Amino acid sequence: MKAETAFDVCHAVFEAARDVLGEKIPIVHAERSSEYHWRPDRRARLGDYVADFALAGEAALDGRSASRMIMFRMFYLGGADYERARRELGITPDTWADWAIQIRRSVGRELVRRGVYPPGRYFLG
């Protein structure tokens, strides 16, 4: 299994989880968040997965290039539009492609190491 494949699978689950959570608990309306209370449970939840994906990415890219970290945060975590993110970073499409491979490989390895991949085992474990 390639690290890039692990990243792609985990990122797809991350995006879906982020979308579901964004609908359930609007981040911009803090007053509504009091409706939701923590209930102890051993199983991982969507919020845990979102956090663990982000933390794995931060750990994998920490100490490397700051530009890769910014790209990871903008595009993969934040869901920024490709063209807009590329222009903001001031890079060519070829450079973007190279950085994307580096990010997917590094973060993919970290996702496997932390047990975030495969997602089925993560949620059942």
pLDDT, tens digit (0-9, with 9 covering 90-100), for 77-110: 999 999 999 999 999 999 999 999 999 999 999 9
Pick from 14, 1, 3: which is nearest to 103 by CA?
Answer: 3
Q: How many domains does one find in the chain? A: 1
DSSP, collapsed to helix, strand or coil, labels residue 40 as coil
Q: 87 lies in a domain?
A: yes
Q: 37 lies in a domain?
A: no
Q: 33 lies in a domain?
A: no
User: What mean pLDDT is predicted for residues 20-46?
Assistant: 58
Helices assigned H by DSSP within 1-125: 3-24, 46-61, 66-71, 82-89, 93-114, 119-124
Q: How far apart are CA 75 and CA 89, in angstroms?
A: 11
Give the residue numbers spanning the domain of 62. 3-26+43-124
Q: 38 lies in a domain?
A: no
* Predicted local distance difference test score (pLDDT) of residue 38: 56
* Predicted local distance difference test score (pLDDT) of residue 45: 85
In this predicted model, which residue has the larger pLDDT, 117 or 44?
A: 117
